[in-house]
Structure 1
Amino acid sequence: MADESTQSIVVDAPADAIMAVIADFEAYPEWAGAVKQSEVLSRDADGRGQEVTFTLDAGVFKDVYTLAYTWAEDGLAVDWTLVKGQMQRSQKGRYALREEGGRTTVTYTLSVQLMVPMIGLFRRKAEKVIMDTALKELKRRVEAL
């Protein structure tokens, strides 16, 4: 299995507002620069996306992949795993939220294994850029709403 990378960011919003943006998969193409299309294939009993397909174009990395989501009962975390992808062998990720005084720390953990081998140094740098961009775009979107 691939190594995990973790990054965090503080967002000036309550956890439920952040989780609402994370759960609104249909809106990802509006604010997540690399996501060109998203489609919710199935929903859980609470109406949240359970299986979602994404079309990603991050310059040199392009993929169409489906993720399966598991939502924490307390509303403070969501985990996902790869169901299928064109360029990925596996993906495991998590957003965990910790709210304190109206601000929330969002911790993003990601592990991706590509079909083609990539030198560890380049893979870690790519993961850092992907995670950094995702967290900054999430923060911008939530704070703008």
Structure 2
Amino acid sequence: MADRTSSSITIKAGKPEIMAVIADLEAYPTWASGIREFTVQESGEDGRARRARLTFDGGPFSDTVGLTYDWDGDDAVRWELVEKGTVVSGLHGSYVLAEKAGVTEVTYELAVDVRVPMIGMVKRKGQKRIIDSALKDLKRHVES
């Protein structure tokens, strides 16, 4: 698996409110840049996605992949690639939430492998751009 890249942002909201937005995968196209479609294929007893298909525009390429999810209440969610796309051959990510004094620090970690040869530094820069954009979009959506 590729090197992981992570970044954090502070959001003026509690963990339950933020995790509710994160868990509503099918709403991502309305607020998350680059996400064209998210379809939940299977949900767990808690109503949260266990398996989903994601279609995204990632700058120079677009792809559709299948993901599985593991939820840790309102503290964290982790996802893994289970259906490779035409470009993406490996993917692992997570959101980890830590609430303090009425604000929540959200840390997003991502590792992506692609079929196209790519210099590590270029790939990490791309991952960092995806993470930073996702965190800013999440903050804007939750705080609006």
- Counterpart CA distance in 2 for 1:12 and 1:97 is 12
Q: Answer yes or no: is the 8 Å Cα contact 1:43–1:50 preserved in 2.
A: yes
Gaps of 5+ in 1: none
Pairing 1:11-50 to 2, within 5 Å after superposition: 11-50=11-50
TM-score (norm 1): 0.95
- Counterpart CA distance in 2 for 1:51 and 1:142 is 24
- Counterpart CA distance in 1 for 2:105 and 2:40 is 27
Amino acid at match of 2:24: D
What root-mean-square deviation, in Å, do the aligned CA atoms of Structure 1 and Structure 2 show?
Answer: 0.9
Alignment correspondent of 1:61: 61
What's the offset of the Cα at 1:83?
0.8
Match of 1:69, SS? Answer: strand
Alignment correspondent of 1:91: 91
- Counterpart CA distance in 1 for 2:84 and 2:100 is 37
What's the offset of the Cα at 1:59?
2.6
- Counterpart CA distance in 2 for 1:143 and 1:7 is 19
Runs of 4 or more, structure 1, over 3 Å off, are: none
- Counterpart CA distance in 1 for 2:84 and 2:136 is 25
- Counterpart CA distance in 2 for 1:61 and 1:104 is 33
- Counterpart CA distance in 1 for 2:115 and 2:75 is 32
Match of 1:66, SS? Answer: strand
Amino acid at match of 2:46: D
- Counterpart CA distance in 2 for 1:137 and 1:32 is 6
- Counterpart CA distance in 2 for 1:21 and 1:79 is 15
Amino acid at match of 1:124: R
Alignment correspondent of 2:127: 127
Gaps of 5+ in 2: none
- Counterpart CA distance in 1 for 2:61 and 2:98 is 31
What's the offset of the Cα at 1:45?
0.9
